[in-house]
Amino acid sequence: MSTRKVKVYPRFERLWHWTQALLIFVLTFTGLGLNGVHSIIPFGPAVMLHTIAALILLSVWIFATFWLFTTGTWKQFVPTLDGLVEVMKFYAWGVFRGEQHPHKKVIWRKHNPLQILAYFGLKILIFPMVWITGIIYLTYNFWEHIPDATLYITIIANLHLLSAYIVMAFVIAHIYLLTIGHGFRSHVKPMITGYEDINLTPEQESYLETNEPWRLKSRKN
Amino acid sequence: MITDMIRKFLIGGGVFLALTIGATAQDHTPSAVSVITPPSGPRSPMPKNEDSTADHSSFQILQREFTSGPEVTSACLTCHTDADDQMMHSIHFKWEFDNPITGQIQGKSKVINSFCGNVAGNEPRCTSCHAGYGWDDMSTKPPLQSTVGTGWDELLPKPVMQSFAPNPDKLTANAVDCLACHDRSGQYTKGATMAGHVPVDPVKPKMKTITGAKAWAVDLKLAAQSVGLPGRDNCGNCHFYGGGGDNVKHGDLSSALYDPDKSIDVHMASEGLNFTCATCHVEEKHQWAGSRYNVTATDPHGTGKPGSARTTATCESCHSNDPHPALLLNPLLALKGMKLNDHTDKLACQTCHIPEFARGGVATKTLWDWSTAGKLADDGSILKLHEYVQSDGKELHTYLSTKGDFEWQEDVVPNYSWFNGVLKNTLRDEEIDPRKVVPINRIGGADGGDDTRIWPFKQMIGRQAYDSGRNVLAFSHVWGPETDTAFWTNFDWSKAVDAGMKAAGQEYSGEFGFVDTQMYWPITHMVAPAENALKCESCHTEDGRLEGITGIYLPGNKPFSLVGILGMLMVLGTLGGVLIHGLIRKFMNKAKGGSDEHA
């Protein structure tokens, strides 16, 4: 067992992450404006920007979904109970006592079980809630004639708003958790360079060295 | 019959007395007031109708002097044989409207408003804008025939007056006024107190026109030879001056529309599309589309099939129900159009596209308190205060002994309400509650109903006379320079109300008081260019223009809604949670001297 710097976030995944981050920022900022929380940008431009950002994000998600399934990366996001309680205990208690993070990164599990659960929930519950309500909201023109359309748009808009606030809460926790452990910088770095310290078995290491050498950084680095 | 007419014109202050007893223009020495120069051309520039196959200036019947409006109409009818029949069934002539929705009988001859109040008892003044000649008694229908004038001869025979015609529809109704709408010489007008008749030489001293200018002697021959399709000025000479002055009544119809620039009205701008009123208010047999009593508040029919004609005055009849282009090559513009079209199921076009009314420098009257009228100066003269200066510098009355207190506003932000097009009046026999603000009219339509849209309105605040014994609105006799009951002459409300009620044929308890009233006028003119339309944040904000309107989902007007608060608490909770977590980490690490770093 050795620890090597392995490329775990390929270029597409990093691009996906950062465009998503930027778009979520734009959407949150304009969305809060549309909801009346602030009036930093006028309503009309905010609508345009929000809608355009939403449409770009939707297309990023379509690509990401395709990528996840064709590359098999989706397996990384399948929730597991294995080690979950330990991670939760660590954040609730161990972290205060200076304990080590219980999760050891391995090549087929680049996230810890709590992370996986959070991302999984985001992917199959919160994001769909955002985009489904968003698309229904956006296409009001096409169903405005149905009875009680005003009631439905009110419900849809409120669900959209609620899901947006959940995403905001997620982003806060997500960024905070980067500060635990080696610190913020070292946690953000892999999402920029793609390389992360991973525990490799000798078999994994020799497989990578033989077949996918570009995924391993040489030891002297 | 003739003596009866003479009496009526004496009361009416008309000039025709002199004419009917034989005085002619030729032997009259012009006085100082009769040399007022008439306008040299129409106030609203209109392109010459090149398609016309008739040049009226070459018509034989029009190569003569005319001494009265009815003479001209008789000449018109020698060719336009059915024009009188069409006109006499129009609201412009009847001043009566049988509302097909409410069953109410409305129209100027019936209703009471919160401006001058009522026509009955004040006829020759109010009927100066009647599209006919000589209607001086509201208790009868408007006269269909008139023998006024001295120019009758074998070519233009004087009509045989038939009080009880077996078939009134077959009468040659020469009391219809053709020139008010069709004169294109620009110098046709009607005397302000002449029951619709025309000031001709000699013009009575101090006579004014219906637009308030000093009256000139109208050249009826020139007018008759000039006729054409109505320009904005033809309509505006009456409709811009409703309520007794420029823009007093409507708020969105003022002299600013005679020759407007684009910022005042994007369609009527002389340098632009140069629409006339009739471009939208299309007609069929002299019946015009567009009614204030029965408004087409929603128009799902839209443009109709290509090329098909529609007699409706709605925006949708040209612009369709998806007026903002959404099928464009530029996806950004398409998106914008689509989002704007989201509004059309809830808002009337006017709501965004007429951001303010009374634009273009002419203020509108927004409050009229009759109850303070009658205060005179110490020497018994009439008090006149003019403490409102409108943007063109003109000073407007804020108090008159004759009329009471006024308030004026320019560039007015409308009131907004759901509206299905039905305006119901508080009619003369409807009981009112004088302890409350009395609605002079009521805006129909349920919140969010399919047949309703949110419309802009001018709100008129009034305080006016009512019969305090019977709790109904009162008629008052205000105009009558020679009566001892008219308020403007005698300043005695009890006489004025008594005479007004008599003139209207109303039962009267003998006691009167004043009630606060409110009246609403739908706003539909003065459409601004698209770039001046209402900005989104005029409504999409807290306490915006549509505050208090229910039946809509309005993003941005309530960030602290239940879900909004829930979401904010969630975000703040998370933020608080991570802060506390972080602080404990810091504190514990310091205490232990350790680190929470992991491999």
| A165–B568 C-beta distance less than 8 A | yes
Of chain B, the percentage scoring pLDDT greater than 90 comes to 82
Determine which of A40, A165, A167 to mutate to test the interface with B (most B C-beta atoms within 10 Å).
A165
* pLDDT the model gives residue B249: 97
Of A100 and B193, which is predicted with more confidence?
A: B193
Who contacts B28 (Cβ-Cβ below 8 Å, separation ≥6)? B201, B202
Q: Which residues of B touch A149 (CB under 8 A)?
A: 345
Contacts of A1 in chain B (CB under 8 A): none
Selected residue of B343, B568, B581, B595 to mutate for chain A interface (largest A Cβ count, 10 A): B581
What is the pLDDT of chain B when averaged over all its residues? 90
Higher pLDDT, A6 or B48: A6
Residue B570 counted as domain residue: yes
The answer to whether A42 contacts chain B (CB < 8 Å) is yes
CA dihedral sign, ordered B172, B177, B178, B181: negative
**Percent of residues, chain A, with pLDDT higher than 90:** 64
**Per-residue pLDDT band at B33 (split at 50, 70, 90):** very low
B372-405, pLDDT tens digit by residue?
999 999 999 999 999 999 999 999 999 999 999 9
Instruction: Please tell me which residue of chain B has the smallest CA distance to A50.
Output: B335
B401 φ, ψ (degrees, to nearest 5): -55, -35
| Pairing state between β B512-522 and B438-439 | parallel
Residue where one domain finishes, among candidates B227, B242, B267: B227
Nearest CA in chain B to A44: B536
- Give the least confident one: B27-41, B245-259, B502-516: B27-41
* CB-closest option in B555, B575, B596 to A157: B555
The answer to whether residue B304 sits within a structural domain is no
Residue B17 has pLDDT above 50, yes or no: no
B317 pLDDT band, cuts 50/70/90, is very high
The b-or-e profile of A33-50 (16+ CB within 10 A means b, else e) is bbbbbeeebebeebbbbb
Query: What is the spatial distance between Cα B549 and Cα A31, in angstroms, rounded to a whole number?
Result: 23
Q: Assess whether pLDDT exceeds 80 at residue B168.
A: no
Looking at residue A221, its pLDDT comes to 45
Place of tokens 């000139």: B216
Distance of alpha carbon B268 from alpha carbon B235, whole angstroms = 13
Asked if the Cβ–Cβ distance from A47 to B536 is below 8 Å, we say yes
Section A49-68 average pLDDT: 96
Nearest to B84 by CA among B173, B197, B178, B180: B173
Range of the domain at B589: 562-599
Residue B533 lies in a domain: no
Rounded Cα–Cα distance for residues A14 and A67 (Å): 12
Task: Measure A69 CA to nearest chain B CA, in Å.
Answer: 31
Residue B19 has pLDDT above 80, yes or no: no
* Most B-contacting residue of A96, A126, A162 (CB-CB within 10 A), to test interface: A96
Task: Say yes or no for a CB contact (<8 Å) between B338 and A141.
Answer: yes
CB atoms within 10 A of CB B541: 19
- Measured between beta carbons, which residues in chain A are less than 8 angstroms from residue B340? none
Q: Which residue does chain A place closest to B550, by CA atoms?
A: A150
Which SS3 state, helix, strand or coil, does residue B466 take?
Answer: strand
Compute φ and ψ for B459, nearest 5 degrees: -95, 130
Let me know: does A47 contact B343? Beta carbons within 8 Å: no
> Directed axis angle between helix A113-121 and helix A149-177, to 10°?
160
Position B429 pLDDT exceeds 60: yes
In a mutational test of the B interface, the residue from A5, A87, A150 whose CB has the highest number of chain B CBs within 10 Å is A150
Closest CB from A37, A44, A99 relative to B559: A37
pLDDT digit string, tens, across residues B198-249 = 999 999 999 999 999 999 999 999 999 999 999 999 999 999 999 999 999 9
Indicate the residue of A95, A145, A153 with minimum beta-carbon distance to B553: A153
Phi and psi dihedrals of B396, rounded to 5? -110, 150
Q: Which residue in chain B has the smallest CA separation from A41?
A: B537
Task: Inform me whether the pLDDT recorded for B522 exceeds 70.
Answer: yes
> Per-residue pLDDT for B470 more than 70?
yes
Query: Nearest-CA neighbor of B253 among B262, B264, B261, B263?
Result: B264
Question: Any chain B CB within 8 A of the CB of A125?
Answer: no
Whether A206 and chain B come into contact, CB under 8 Å, resolves to no
Interface contact flag, B582 A176, Cβ < 8 Å: yes
- The last residue of a domain, from among B227, B256, B272: B227
- Give the whole-angstrom CA distance, residue B352 versus residue B198: 41
What pLDDT score does B25 carry?
39
Phi, then psi, of B177 in degrees rounded to 5: -95, 105
Q: How confident is the model at residue B170 (pLDDT cuts 50, 70, 90)?
A: low
Contact state of A150 with B573 under an 8 Å Cβ cutoff = no
Integer Rg of chain B from CA? 29
Q: Closest Cα of chain B to A192: distance in Å?
A: 20
Q: Residue A197: its chain B contacts at CB < 8 A?
A: 599
> Are B571 and A172 a contacting pair at CB < 8 A?
yes
A98:B592 CB<8 A? yes
Which of B180, B198, B227 is at the close of a domain? B227
pLDDT at A22: 98
The answer to whether residue B157 is domain-embedded is yes
Identify the structural domains of chain A with CATH numbers, from first to last: 2-215 (1.20.950.20)
Contact at CB, B574 and A169, closer than 8 angstroms: yes
d(CA A51, CA B332): 10
Residue B487 included in any domain: no
Residue B586 falls inside a structural domain:
yes
Check CB contact of A181 with chain B, cutoff 8 Å. yes
Q: How many CB pairs under 8 A join A and B?
A: 128
pLDDT score recorded for residue B16:
39
- Per-residue pLDDT of B558-592, as tens digits, reads 999 999 999 999 999 999 999 999 999 888 877 76
Chain B contact set for A140 (CB, 8 A): 342
- Give yes or no for A2 touching B (CB within 8 A): no
Chain B residues within 8 A of A51 when measuring between CB atoms? 335, 339
Give chain B's domain count: 2
A35·B584 Cβ contact <8 A: no
Q: Are B578 and A181 a contacting pair at CB < 8 A?
A: no
- Spatial distance between the Cα atoms of B301 and B571, rounded to a whole number of angstroms: 48
List the 62-101 stretch of A: residues with Cβ below 8 A of B.
91, 95-101
Q: Which residues of B touch A96 (CB under 8 A)?
A: 584-585, 588-589, 596
pLDDT at B124 over 80: yes
Minimal Cβ distance to A36: which of B557, B573, B594: B557
Residue A26 has pLDDT above 90, yes or no: yes
Q: Judge: A96–B561 Cβ closer than 8 Å, yes or no.
A: no
DSSP secondary structure, B175-214, as one string: TB-SHHHH--SS----BTTTTTPPP-SSPPTT-BBTTSSB
What's the pLDDT score for residue B30? 47
Would B200 be classed as within a structural domain? Answer: yes
Nearest to B117 by CA among B366, B446, B474, B437: B474
CA distance A59 to chain B (A): 16
Query: So what's the pLDDT on residue B165?
Result: 57
On the question of pLDDT at B434 being above 70, the answer is yes
Beta carbons of A52 and B335 less than 8 Å apart: yes
What average pLDDT does the structure give for chain A? 92
Nearest chain B Cα distance for residue A219, angstroms: 17
DSSP B535: P
User: Of chain A residues 150-169, which have a CB less than 8 A from chain B?
Assistant: 150, 153-154, 157-158, 161-162, 164-166, 168-169
Domain annotation covers residue B160: yes
Question: Which H helix or E strand runs over A6?
Answer: strand A2-7
A155 pLDDT band, cuts 50/70/90, is very high
E strand intervals along B164-321:
283-284, 287-288
Which positions in chain A touch B574 (Cβ < 8 Å)? 168-169, 172-173
